[in-house]
Structure 1
Amino acid sequence: MAVYTEVTDEDVQAFASRFDIGTVISLKGIAEGVENSNYLMVTDRDQFILTLYEKRVHRTDLPFFIGLMRHLADRGVNCPLPVAASDGEALHELAGRPAAVFTFLEGMWPRRITVRHCAELGPAMARMHLAGSDFAMTRANALGPSAWRPLYNLSADRAHLVDPALPELVSTALDRFDAQWPTGLPSGLIHADLFPDNVFFRDEELTGLIDFYFACTDFLAYDIAVALNAWCFEPDGAFNTTKARALLTGYQRLRPLAPEEMAALPVLAAGAAARFLLTRLYDWLNHPDGAFVKPKDPVEYLRKLRFHSKAADPAAYGLPA
Structure 2
Amino acid sequence: MAVYTEVSDAALTAFLSAYEIGGLLSYKGIAEGVENTNFFLHTTAGSYILTLYEKRVREDDLPFFLNLMEHLATRGLACPQPVRNRDGAALGRLCGRPAVIVTFLEGVSVKQPNADHCRALGKALAELHAAGADFGMRRENNLSVASWRPLFEQAEAQADSVSPGLAERTRADLAVLEASWPTGLPGGVVHADLFTDNVFFIGDDLSGLIDFYFACTDAFAYDLAICLNAWCFTPEGAYRRDMGEALIAGYEAVRPLDTAEVAALPVLARGAALRFMLTRLVDWLNVPPGALVQPKDPREYDRRLTFHRAAADARDYGLVR
Q: TM-score, normalised by structure 2?
A: 0.96
The amino acid of 2:160's aligned partner reads: H
Deviation at 1:67, TM superposition (A): 0.7
Cα offset, 1:183, TM superposition? 1.2
Letter of the 1:154 partner, please give it: Q
Alignment partner, residue 26 of structure 2: 26
CA shift at 1:156, angstroms?
Answer: 1.7
Bigger mean CA offset, 11-20 vs 137-146: 11-20
Structure 1 pair 11–284 and aligned structure 2 pair: CA distance change class (3 A): closer
Q: Assess, with a 3 A threshold, how the Cα gap between structure 1 residues 55 and 314 changes in structure 2: closer, same or farther.
A: closer
Alignment partners' CA distance in 2, 1:55 and 1:160: 25
Give the whole-Å Cα distance in 2 for the aligned partners of 1:126 and 1:303.
Answer: 28
Residue in 2 that maps onto 1:221: 221
Question: Could you tell me how far apart the structure 2 residues matched to 1:217 and 1:283 are?
Answer: 24
- Mind listing any 5+ residue stretches in structure 2 that lack a counterpart? none
Amino acid in structure 2 at the alignment position of 1:140: E
Matches within 5 A, 1:92-107: 92-107=92-107
**20-29 vs 217-226, which moves further:** 20-29
* Paired AA for residue 50 in structure 2: L
| Displacement after TM superposition at 1:289 (Å) | 5.2
Deviations 1:249-270 (A, max 9, x none): 0111111111110111100000
Q: Report which stretch shifted further, 149-158 or 269-278.
A: 149-158
SS in 1 for 2:76: coil
TM alignment of 1:48-197, pairs within 5 A: 48-197=48-197
What is the percent sequence identity of the aligned residues?
A: 56
Higher normalized contact order (CA 8 Å, seq sep 6+, divided by chain length): 2
Cα offset for 1:291? 3.7
Instruction: Identify if the C-alpha distance between structure 1 residues 318 and 103 changes in structure 2 by more than 3 Å, giving closer, same or farther.
Output: same
SS in 1 for 2:99: strand
Cα distance in 1 for partners of 2:257, 2:42 equals 42
Cα deviation, 1:209-251, whole Å, max 9, x if unaligned, reads 1111111111110000000000000133210011001011011
Taking a change above 3 Å as real, the CA distance of residues 189 and 305 of structure 1, as seen in their structure-2 partners, is same
> What SS does the aligned partner of 1:154 have?
helix
Q: Deviations over 1:123-175 (max 9, x none)?
A: 10011111111111111111100011121122222222222232222122111
Tell me the distance in 1 between the aligned counterparts of 2:64 and 2:284: 29
| Aligned-partner Cα distance in 2 for 1:314–1:72 | 29
Report what 2:253 is aligned to: 253
Distance in 2, matches of 1:172 and 1:98, equals 38
Partner of 1:106, secondary structure, is coil
Decide whether aligned partners of structure 1 residues 56 and 319 sit closer, same or farther in structure 2, where only a CA change above 3 A counts: closer
| Cα pair distance change 1:38/1:288, threshold 3 Å | closer
Indicate yes or no: 2:196 matched with 1:207.
no
* Partner Cα distance (1:9, 1:240) in 2: 46
1:295 shift after superposition:
1.8
SS in structure 2 at match of 1:233? coil
Counterpart CA distance in 2 for 1:154 and 1:16 is 38
Instruction: Give the direction of change, closer, same or farther, for the CA distance of 1:82–1:13 in structure 2 (3 Å limit).
Output: same
Relative to 1, partners in 2 of residues 1:55 and 1:243: Cα closer, same or farther, differing over 3 Å? Answer: closer
Counterpart residue number, 1:277: 277
- Shifted more, 90-99 versus 221-230: the winner is 90-99
TM-score (structure 1 length as normaliser): 0.96
SS of equivalent residue, structure 1 residue 100: strand
Offset at residue 294 of structure 1 (A): 2.3
d(CA) in 1 for partners of 2:209, 2:81: 11
Between 1:225-234 and 1:8-17, the stretch displaced more is 8-17
CA contact (8 A) 1:169 1:306 kept: no
Do the aligned residues in 2 keep the contact of 1:120 with 1:250 (CA within 8 Å)? yes
Deviation at residue 290 of structure 1 after TM alignment: 4.5
What does 1:283-294 align with in structure 2 at a 5 Å threshold? 283-288=283-288, 290-294=290-294
Task: Output the amino acid matched with 2:43.
Answer: T
Q: Distance in 2 between matches of 1:138 and 1:309?
A: 32
Secondary structure at the counterpart of residue 254 of structure 1:
coil
27-36 or 75-84, larger mean C-alpha shift: 27-36
